[in-house]
Amino acid sequence: MQPLGTDEDASARPGVVRTLRYDQPVAVIGDIHGRADLLARLLDALPVDIPVLVTGDVGDRGPDTRGVLDLLVARGAEGTRGNHDEWLTTWALGGPFDPFALSPKMGGHATLASYGVIGRSPADIESQAHLVPEAHRDWLSARPHAIDLQVMGTTWWIIHAGVPSHVNLRGVAFADVVPYLAAHHPDALLWGANDPEEMLALDRPVIMGHVRRRSPLDIGHVLAIDTGAGTILGGALTAVILPERRFVRVG
């Protein structure tokens, strides 16, 4: 199911906000981190025709990033990019490999293994970018830094790491905060470390991942739906159904 009124050109440029409009309920899925098994179960638990979006961090740490992207591409999923998607996108598109991806904090070894990459040096890894299917490269490259989402008349922001607290937003109207950040501080939307409970309230609720919680959190102006898939023992994968704000969780 294709969304209404998408901005296809903007979606391919870094540091932009993509606009998506739907006239039916949608499901927004939190950080997946290579858990294709949980994603398959969650998709089976959702209505077959419901549009699917993700909050970013589809890979790393968990064992099957390639399988995750197979499922997302097949489902026609949309969504934002996360900080763990940055190195994968750059490398898959023929750019340099960032050795930080192999750090314990990132867990990129699992992503490379899922594509059959052999070797550990940047040169070895860069020479094998062709192992990433074209459909995966296209999907990754089309992820914006934020989504301006409307579902059946209700509006939302989808931002991987939420709204950063360290950026001076004095003089920026609430409705302009996300476009301002995407234009001037795009990395802050991917790498921020804000607690949802301390996040600035904007002109609409923010749906985010990145900050892990054992259970999904809805505190009105923020919905935090990273529930540990691929990152903690017993972690779950969560979707929120909009506009009703109902959580669906597998784990």
Q: Tens of pLDDT along 80-139? A: 999 999 999 999 999 999 999 999 999 999 999 999 999 989 999 999 999 999 999 999
Burial of 244 (0-12, 13-18, 19+ CB in 10 A): exposed
| Structural tokens at position 37 | 């098994």
Domain annotation covers residue 45: yes
Q: Is residue 104 part of a domain?
A: no
Q: For residue 174, is it within any domain? A: yes
In a domain? residue 131: no
Residue 28: inside a domain, yes or no? yes
pLDDT of res. 165:
84
Asked if residue 42 has pLDDT above 50, the reply is yes
| 12 part of a folded domain | yes
In CATH, what number is assigned to the domain containing residue 49?
A: 3.60.21.10
Q: Is the pLDDT of residue 13 over 90?
A: no
Residue 31 pLDDT greater than 50, yes or no: yes
Q: What is the pLDDT of residue 60?
A: 98
The answer to whether residue 180 scores a pLDDT higher than 90 is yes
Domain assignment present for residue 220? The answer is yes
Tell me: cis bond preceding 63? Omega within 30 of 0 counts.
no
Domains in the chain, number:
1
Q: Domain limits at 210?
A: 8-81+143-250
pTM of the model: 0.93
**Residue 136 domain-assigned?**
no
pLDDT of residue 2: 33
